[in-house]
Chain A
Amino acid sequence: MLARYIAQRTWQLIPVLILVSIAVFLIVRIIPGDPVLVMLGIDPEERVRISEEQYQALQHQLGFDRPIYVQYFNWLTNIVQGDLGLSLRSRRPIFEVILERYPATIYLAVTALLTGLAIAIPAGVIAAIRQNTSADYAAMGFALWGIAMPNFWLALMLIVLFSLKLGWLPSIGYASPLDDPFRFLQHTCLPAIVMGTDLAAPLTRYIRAEMLEQLKQDYVRTAWAKGMPSRMVIVKHALKNSLIAAVTVVGLQTARLLGGSTIIETVFSWPGVGKLLIEGIYSRDYPIVQGSVLIIAVTYVFINLFVDIVYKWLDPRIKLE
């Protein structure tokens, strides 16, 4: 049953991935101006410095003299083989550059996810079991404010407090957890809190609502009635079922973290794919922009797939639309 679901769900992914690839392919084509000059990083004013023969040779080399669908298929074939082209600035293969940067993004996303869960689960549970008390209002206030607050502003405020005023934590930089776990934790602390808050705010609200729903159910009443200790009722019964429902939200938010990490990576100079994308935009290195967008989008699509499968595994009643 699960295998069939996975197969169906994966099959549905193909048109989405094709459309995503078309969109990424078109990114460069919608830039105003001549795509040949854009892809070579040449300013339009410098066009006169290239002779017509040179221009045509470059156009041919890039494949821009062929019909657009041929260009797309060639591009797609290269991508499937792991060839994303060369960076205009460093002349290095983009696939290699992205592979270097990818782990930093994933480490940050994972620490942010753990931080988010560590905030949201206790906050949501306490808010639900102490409904309409000051603890509940505090948790809901945090959630409402956390959803509304721009994450880059929180980042700046934390830098002011913990780096500039107190001097406890570094504001920029990175160390791999494999090389130096302690320095990694120091550097990841602030970005993980910022992105964790992003995740925790909506999740706290969701867990609270789910817990309230579960606590009203008959099976919980039965557990109370038979004299089960309250910790058991709350953790083993109500929380467990609330978390199953929360899996989708956690998954969607984690996937969103990857997309939103662009700005946080930039604020904290975290050398991930998001920062690579912004560097690419600043230096008009469009192949890098294309490659980074493609990698982030594909990761996002696959996380969503994974979340759907996990959810189906946890709750077999789910049907494919």
Chain B
Amino acid sequence: MKQETLPRPWTAADTANTYFSRFLGACQVIARNRLALLGVVIVGTWLLTALLAPYIATHDAYEINIANRLKGPSADHWLGTDSLGRDTFSRLVFGARTAFQVAIGAVFLGAVFGIPIGAIAGFTGRWVDAILMRFMDAIIAFPGRLLAIALVASLGGGLFSLYIALGVNSIPSYARIVRGVVLSQKEKEYVEAARMTGESGLTILFFQVLPNCLSPLLVRLSLDFGHAILAESSLSFLGLGLPPPTASWGLMLKEVTPFLQLQPMAAFFPGLTISLIILGFNLLGDGLRDVFDPRQYQR
């Protein structure tokens, strides 16, 4: 690197450089951790599959062909067909779109509400903190899946209900993470210094304190993506999620359950797909945790 002869002011480009080199460092740690790398590959593959679904699918995922129902894997239908003769492979490919669509919405909703709640609770303290966190406790007091089932039962099925049902579940985890970081940071000198320069509480909170939450939040986001996909599959399997004929992995399992005896393979592949993608997000989350918290690395 070229030696600077004169000190120059810190610029936005330097900040970008710092973040970029940190990002590269994180990539190196993940690349060294074989399991985390596997997670990146799995998640990346499925993300690409979701994006390029129409080009990857071999058949129309919604085309019914009763004559061809419950067939095993063959050259024409790589993973066989379901109870209505639809191509399982193509439905799994389009199911990736559904899974990501639900997960992105649910995680976004959880974060959009959870982060400000945690930030306000931690930064304001006293009774505001007490009230907000008691609300969070009440959400946590429900077993996650139960709350989702209850909400979907009340709101009815469909994408929007799923966003709410799954999003509400994850609000407390974001709120708790952010609150914890804010509590630990708000007495630090740099916050004090920012106060002295006359910056408003909100500016300090959002631009100085909150960036510190980024690492634990990224870990949480990755794990929550997996949770949301699993929860969507569970609800759709129960018939409480997306309505047929949507290509949803959980719904695919539900539809072939009565025909297990005739064609067990039709149930095998959707479940395997769900397991794989959740494994991917979990490995990625664990890898990110290793990056951000090297103390845990050996565990």
Contacts and interface: CB of A to CB of B under 8 A. Distances in A.
Given A152-B253, A157-B268, A297 B141 contact: yes
Contacts of A154: 271
Contacts of B250: 150
B279 to A, nearest CB: 4
B150 A147 contact: no
A277 interface: yes
Nearest to A280: B153
Contact of A23 (B142, B238, B239): B142
A160 B267 CA distance: 10
A256 B278 CA distance: 18
A27 B153 contact: yes
A246 to B, nearest CB: 14
B299 A164 contact: no
Interface in A94-130: none
A305 B149 CA distance: 24
B48 interface: no
B279 A144 contact: yes
A289 B150 contact: yes
Contacts of A297: 141-143, 146
A259 B238 CA distance: 14
Given A27-B150, A164-B260, A259 B144 contact: yes
A157 B138 contact: no
Chain B interface mostly: helix
B24 interface: no
B143 to A, nearest CB: 2
Interface of A: 15-17, 19-20, 22-24, 27-28, 30-32, 144-145, 147-150, 152-154, 156-157, 159-160, 164, 209, 212-213, 255-256, 258-260, 262-263, 266, 277-278, 281-282, 289, 293, 296-297, 300-301, 304
Given A156-B267, A160-B260, A149 B275 contact: yes
Interface of B: 35, 134-135, 137-138, 141-146, 149-151, 153-156, 226, 230, 233-234, 237-240, 250, 253, 257, 260-261, 264, 267-268, 270-272, 274-276, 278-279, 282-283, 299
Chain A interface mostly: helix
Given A144-B279, A289-B153, A259 B264 contact: no
Contacts of B275: 145, 148-150, 153
A16 B264 contact: no
A277 B149 contact: yes
Contacts of A32: 155-156
Contact of B141 (A144, A145, A278, A301): A301
B271 to A, nearest CB: 3
Nearest to A150: B274
23 contacts: A20-B141, A20-B142, A24-B150, A27-B150, A145-B275, A148-B282, A150-B237, A152-B237, A153-B270, A153-B272, A156-B260, A156-B271, A157-B268, A157-B271, A262-B238, A277-B146, A278-B149, A281-B149, A289-B150, A296-B143, A297-B146, A301-B141, A304-B141
Given A19-B135, A263-B238, A289-B150, 20 more contacts: A16-B138, A27-B151, A144-B282, A144-B283, A147-B278, A148-B282, A149-B275, A149-B278, A150-B250, A152-B234, A152-B237, A153-B271, A156-B257, A156-B267, A160-B264, A164-B261, A255-B143, A256-B143, A281-B153, A297-B142
Contacts of B142: 20, 23, 259, 293, 297, 300
Contacts of B153: 27, 281, 289
Contact of B138 (A23, A213, A266): A23
A259 B154 CA distance: 17
Contacts of B226: 148
A281 B230 contact: no
